[in-house]
Amino acid sequence: MSLVEFSIDHHVVQIALNRPPVNALSAELSDELAVAFRRAADPGIRAVVITGEPHFAAGADIKGFQAAFDRGHDDHLAANLGEAIRLLETLEKPTIAAVRGFALGGGLELAMGADFRYLADDARVGQPEIRLGLIPGAGGTQRLPRLVGYQRAKEMIFSGRQLEAEEALDLGLADKVFPAAQVLEAAMSDAGRWAVGPTRAYGAAKRALNDARRLPIDQGLAAEMDAFLECFRTDDAREGVAAFVDKREARFSGMPGD
């Protein structure tokens, strides 16, 4: 049985975790996610939704940790999951995590790798690793402060507490909250809208925004200019300008220019 399901509809790919009953994360599941995210880099795919039912991902498979202790080995989950999340984060197209139920530990780290997080009103998110004598190991200490602020991230990680969807929305950890039955539909609808947009420009904007987190401003401005010029040379830029002049809707292809 595949641990990750991959389905495409009108240039939108839905990547669904498939490890019942709660999508507990393992090194094997993380490896399959990495494969799926590499597939999603195909230019024919123009938006991505990642999800899981009935829970997005309830955290690590703790039995795997115990087995690693018994073997006297380090556990590979954090490294494998971290690699998969980085692939998701750097996809040059819009990505949405549609979260129902629990997104805890590595599940929240996975959701934070997406551009946007849409939460069901019954969702619960958090980084509970501290309660196991551990810390987040797949990006939680790095991405969470960027989303909610340093001090709030410290409180969440030190306490290991779970946040309800509305608190996550208030903190900026969630972008939208929907009734549970509607969250995936809403994510797919928005992804479909982005999938007919200027994909190359989305990718360039994403790279420039990511650069803003790590580069001094002079280097960031230079990277932004390079990304702008890359967009300027695309067929989508020509089409967008022509559509504006002609007072019509643009028909973006998402393809490079000459």
**Looking at the annotation, which residues are catalytic?**
109, 129
Cα–Cα distance measured from residue 77 to residue 28, given in angstroms and rounded to the nearest whole number:
8
The edge-to-edge listing of strands for the beta sheet with 47-52 is: 4-9, 12-17, 47-52, 95-99, 116-120, 176-178
The single-letter DSSP state of residue 115 is: S
Determine contact, residues 50/37, Cβ cutoff 8 Å.
Answer: no
Token pair belonging to 139? 């990006």
Token pair belonging to 199? 């994909």
Residue 226, classified by CB atoms within 10 Å of its CB into exposed (0-12), middle (13-18) or buried (19+), is middle
Cα–Cα distance measured from residue 193 to residue 247, given in angstroms and rounded to the nearest whole number:
20
Instruction: Indicate if the alpha-carbon torsion angle 213, 215, 221, 223 is positive or negative.
Output: negative
Question: Bridge-partner residues for 14, per DSSP?
Answer: 7, 49
